[in-house]
Amino acid sequence: MSQINQPTQQRRSRSTPLFVVGNSVLALLLCGGVGFSIYASGRLPGVRFGYTDNHRRLLDTGRRGELIPKLRTAASIDFDDASAQLQLLSTANAANDLDSKAEALRGLLNHTPDDAELHGELAGVLLTTGALDKALVHSRYAIKLDPSVAWLHTTYGAVMLAMGRNREAAVSYRKALRLNPKSEPAKRALAYPLRNF
């Protein structure tokens, strides 16, 4: 029994110096990084990922379509920073990437969940991609948050029309016209597909 325990004790004593050396190297690296930050910028380093900033800088040198996967990753890593979602939204909009645009809008809604226009914008993107049930949820909620915005009623009308719910679509388009008599989408929808509703 004492022979079995003896090698274990020897192994522990051999691994202790290696553990101490590893911790010492880690501490030196941390201290070196903090010292370099103070030397280079005159302040302590920020406790954040630099991932988003690095990819934002790439926008100047690369094609937007190629950067979208990297920006999506940056937006999901740096979810507390709304500027990451805004950068993704801007780039996805320029590249006409609707899935990335929807992801960016969802990220922005995490920061401002009661923004009627963001919900309306997301409903429009979801409608275009064919996610009608989700578009319905966001367009309804947008109107609940701010019923005085004409284009939110137009978006809701478009969702209703796409779902084949023509009576509800006509009601929503009429509401949009009452709020904004110049609304061309509402005029067109009531003149042709909803003429009899």
Q: Does domain 48-111 have CATH number 3.30.70?
A: no
**How much of the chain, in percent, has pLDDT values that exceed 90?**
40
pLDDT at 18: 67
Outline where 42-165 has alpha helix (H): 51-58, 64-77, 82-95, 98-111, 116-129, 132-145, 150-162
pLDDT at 52: 46
Place of tokens 């226009």: 117
pTM above 0.75, yes or no: no
**CATH of span 114-197:** 1.25.40.10
103 close to 84: Cβ distance less than 8 angstroms? no
| Domain-wise residue ranges, the chain | 1-46, 48-111, 114-197
Rounded Cα–Cα distance for residues 108 and 122 (Å)? 10
Is the per-residue pLDDT at 147 higher than 60? yes
Alpha carbon 132 to its chain's center: 20
Residue by residue, DSSP assigns 132-160 as HHHHHHHHHHHHHH-TT-HHHHHHHHHHH
Rounded Cα–Cα distance for residues 154 and 157 (Å)? 5
Residues found in the chain: 197
